[in-house]
């Protein structure tokens, strides 16, 4: 009952409902495109595009005099796209590397945008321009019309990704192989960058120029820790982005004076940290746990082979070995009591009396098989 009341409150409040829908759309599309950009090693391009969008917003306002979101975002998209093409041209026609070109474009376009903003602030209509919300984001100013624009742009991005999925998948992992198959790699590169521009433009009003790159990188980085398959990674990145958007928006609505955009980014960052620590197969803690299990297994098998060697030396597989002797022949790093307990629990050794151990018939069989496998592998 309380859950239904909470849902009713959320969807009954116009501002909160609008912000949640906008954050949901932003998280989904930024996660999907962020995953593709991450695999293409173009994650930092999102930071460049977001900063390069600022002069486009300012120029759109100066030329049109309108503060319509559609007009301003169109200027942002054009500016970001031109900055991307300029960066690609610099890399292709000069000896400047990708990272240097990214930094050059980011600083030049962002600096030009700040100059335009300074000029706009001196105008009498500067207070009504509302351009500052694009710098750090102001999700509370989202209107239903803004969410509608975001939804249509996101739908366009998803449709293009689905239509060109086969070509993008090959291009992401091996552009040379894609070119040998006859795929237009240059146009695929432009398509991917254009989709990234649209994605960043979608989130400027919610998260802002400064933090938008985090929305592209964070969900994708978190999803990468959980799977090795492209389809699952793209799906997880979209879901992670939507979760960060919704939970960040709800958190900021519950805490007074807590900005929505930075809160969404903080939630996404927490997701990345949790994924880095706990994700199966790639998480730091998971790998440490697996390494300890492997070390424990190695110590158990070394101890078993050592007991077999001692038994063969005495020509009696039931010979009782003193713990002092066993400790002396095993590596110093072996945790003797834990290892012997593991061997006893598996039924490979027995403890006939205190201070002595002996192999069981099952232990002899396992030790011989393990030694034969080692010889074959060697």
Instruction: Quick: pLDDT tens for 273-283.
Output: 999 998 887 88
The residue among 258, 156, 137, 265 whose CA lies nearest residue 203 is 137
> What is the reported pLDDT for 6?
52
CATH number at residue 360: 1.10.10.10
Residues 88 and 131 in one domain: yes
Which segment, 91-95, 211-215, 227-231, is predicted with the most confidence on average? 227-231
Residues 114 and 215 in one domain: yes
> What is the reported pLDDT for 83?
87
Phi, psi of 359 (to 5 degrees): -75, 150
Residues 148 and 161 in one domain: yes
Alpha helices in the chain (DSSP H): 2-12, 14-39, 43-64, 69-93, 98-121, 126-129, 133-136, 144-163, 165-173, 175-180, 185-203, 212-224, 230-254, 260-278, 284-314, 323-329, 336-345, 361-377
Residues 215 and 348 in one domain: no
Residues 125 and 210 in one domain: yes
DSSP single-letter state for residue 141? G
Query: Taking phi first (over 0 means left), then psi (-120 to 50 degrees means alpha), and beta for anything else, what does residue 281 get?
Result: left
Residues 304 and 331 in one domain: yes
List, for residues 68-90, the tens digit of each pLDDT value. 777 888 888 888 888 888 887 88
Q: pTM score, two decimals?
A: 0.78
CA–CA gap between residue 291 and residue 66 (Å, rounded): 60
Q: Of 281, 307, 334, at which residue does a domain stop?
A: 281
Given a cut of 70, whether residue 131 has pLDDT beyond it is no
């Amino acid at each position: 009952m309380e859950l239904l009341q909470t849902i009713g409150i959320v969807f009954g409040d116009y501002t909160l409902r609008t912000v949640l829908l906008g954050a949901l759309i932003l998280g989904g599309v930024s996660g999907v495109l962020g995953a593709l950009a991450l695999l293409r090693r173009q994650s930092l391009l999102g930071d460049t595009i977001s900063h390069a969008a600022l002069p486009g917003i300012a120029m759109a306002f100066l030329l049109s005099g309108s503060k319509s979101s559609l007009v301003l975002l169109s200027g942002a998209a054009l500016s970001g796209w031109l900055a991307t093409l300029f960066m690609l041209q610099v890399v292709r026609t000069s000896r400047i590397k990708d990272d240097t070109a990214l930094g050059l474009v980011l600083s030049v376009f962002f600096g030009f945008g700040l100059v335009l903003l300074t000029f706009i602030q001196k105008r009498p209509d500067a207070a009504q321009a509302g351009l500052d919300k694009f710098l750090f984001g102001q999700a509370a100013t989202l209107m239903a019309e803004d969410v509608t624009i975001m939804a249509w742009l996101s739908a366009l991005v998803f449709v293009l990704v689905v239509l060109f999925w086969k070509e993008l998948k090959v291009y992401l992992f091996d552009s040379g192989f894609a070119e040998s198959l006859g795929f237009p790699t240059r146009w695929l590169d432009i398509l991917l960058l254009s989709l990234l521009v649209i994605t960043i433009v979608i989130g400027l009003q919610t998260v802002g120029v400064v933090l938008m790159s985090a929305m592209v990188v964070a969900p994708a980085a978190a999803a990468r820790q959980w799977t090795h398959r492209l389809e699952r990674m793209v799906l997880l990145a979209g879901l992670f982005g939507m979760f960060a958007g919704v939970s960040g928006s709800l958190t900021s609505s519950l805490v007074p004076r807590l900005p929505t955009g930075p809160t969404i980014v903080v939630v996404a960052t927490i997701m990345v940290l949790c994924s880095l620590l706990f994700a199966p197969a790639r998480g730091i803690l998971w790998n440490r746990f697996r390494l300890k299990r492997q070390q424990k297994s190695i110590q158990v098998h070394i101890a078993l082979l050592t007991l077999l060697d001692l038994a063969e030396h005495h020509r009696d597989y039931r010979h009782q070995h003193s713990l002092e002797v066993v400790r002396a022949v095993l590596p110093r790093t072996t945790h003797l009591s834990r290892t012997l307990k593991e061997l006893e629990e598996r039924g490979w050794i027995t403890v006939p009396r205190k201070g002595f151990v002996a192999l069981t018939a099952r232990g002899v069989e396992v030790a011989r098989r393990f030694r034969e496998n080692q010889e074959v592998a060697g």
